[in-house]
Structure 1
Amino acid sequence: MDTYQLLEAAFLGLIEGLTEFIPVSSTGHLLLAGHFLGFESTGKTFEVLIQLGAVLAILSVYFARLWNIATALPSDPGARRFVIGILIAFLPAAIIGVMLHGFIKEVLFESPMLVCITLIVGGIALLIIDRMTLEQRHTEATEYPLSLCLKIGLCQCLAMIPGVSRSGATIGGALLMGCDKRSAAEFSFFLAMPTMAGAFAYDLLKNIDRLSADDAAIIGIGFVAAFISGVFVVRGLLNFVTRHGFAPFAWWRIVVGTLGIAGLMLVG
């Protein structure tokens, strides 16, 4: 391990935190950046494990609200329904993630061209959804019906394909099912916590015997960078999407995907 590797880890961690909660695919950005930088992590664990830094960013910003929900569980049916809804939304991705873990890490994560294509296709889809006139029947993330939570959870499964974007799939699906932009983004925040924590725990369990002290140092640097940059995104994203919608992220996806394809064609 050298200084250059640590700087790469910090840079990639910064990318993770900046892109995890916006619908542009943090994993897709990490895989493309890692490919062009020549960055290789043991078992592609770095790209998964540093997501815990982004999870802690949500916890730090939403701690008071989460604490209120937790303390209300024994007496408030609404709080219990919300927690059950998040767990229901989490289950489809958890099941499919465990079943297809090897295929995802060994095949999909090794396909930068696939990432570029899904970035572009997802960007076009997001542009179309953002411009549609949709009925807004659900405006409070904590009051989504359980059936809606399950449908959003099924949409999240699309993000098993790198480049699709976990937040993009959940937010886009929620918008199509009658949620407003702000609550859709907020529900995606809440759903990220069990989803990313689960991915962290499972990937660590599968690869812990392969990780060295150098791997731990690199992951730690990326973790801290992801946490710091994630805090800034979580604090500002809801107001941004309320004012500007998701079109800026859609165009970003298309530009990055197009540049990625050009780069792969030029340098491989």
Structure 2
Amino acid sequence: MICHVMRYAPFYLEIRKQIESGIIGDIIAIQTEENVSYHHMATSFVRGKWNSIANCDSSMLLAKCCHDLDMISWMKGSIRPKKVSSFGGLFQFREEKAPEGAGTRCLVDCPIEATCTYSAKKMYMEQELWGIYAWDNMHLGTVPTHEEKIESLRTSNPYGRCVWRCDNDVVDHQTVIIEFEDGSTASHNLTGATSKSCRTIHITGTKGEISGNMEDGYFLVRQPDTRPGHLYKEVRIESNVTSDMHGGGDLRLIADFVRTLRGDKPSLSSTSLEKSIYGHQIVFAAERSRSENNVVEISL
């Protein structure tokens, strides 16, 4: 059993059920987005442990969008990806983009810290974001004092560094284009440092379309409506997204795993290794395409 957690998120599972029902016909095109918030981008992919391919042996596309590219593959069922092209790079978070006067550490030598969106003091102390990353041993239940946090950010803490003067080299934006063996296509846009984090999807089929934003907790199914005075009809389908991680998928995955161990029939979200690998192939092909500036064919 391969643990693709987003397949268990109610939002995506309900979309997959709609596709299985045939309501939008055969899939022609899929467009997805992952918008990574400014605070998540700064913490995980600029200052943090996924900021460098050399440090973590993973591109940002693999670390952050493995879910999305697997989701695209899952929506296509057993139809395999054939060709991949990709563009992107590190646009914003590099030294030459630093605002005038920016220092090297937020609480040491930065005169613009008080007005900076990426101030470590604002992000990790005042907004109290990502504490489990920023503070050593917090995941073990040890919470540092205010004074200890200040001293940490001033000295050795990597999360106290200026976001424009870190050792990061992963992309902060990337676009992936996929062609499947049946001639259908898909595209995925990864965008870092957005104001709001969200995942979106738009699937166009021969009989209709599906579109939605996972964080909204619902999606729309649209079909042509040829009655006089109408152009299309749409149905809103609630997905009951919870506050659980990955859109409510985490605990549902564990429950499915336990049921599988007990001998129950695997759910629609469950997958074999043979099909699971499609999303990974897309990621690796996309990184080759981006770095080599060509279209990469995925072999059988």
TM-score by length of 2: 0.24
Greater relative contact order (CA < 8 Å, ≥ 6 in sequence): 1
Whose strand fraction is larger, Structure 1's or Structure 2's? 2
Whose helix fraction is larger, Structure 1's or Structure 2's? 1
Structure with higher Rg: it is 2
TM-score by length of 1: 0.26
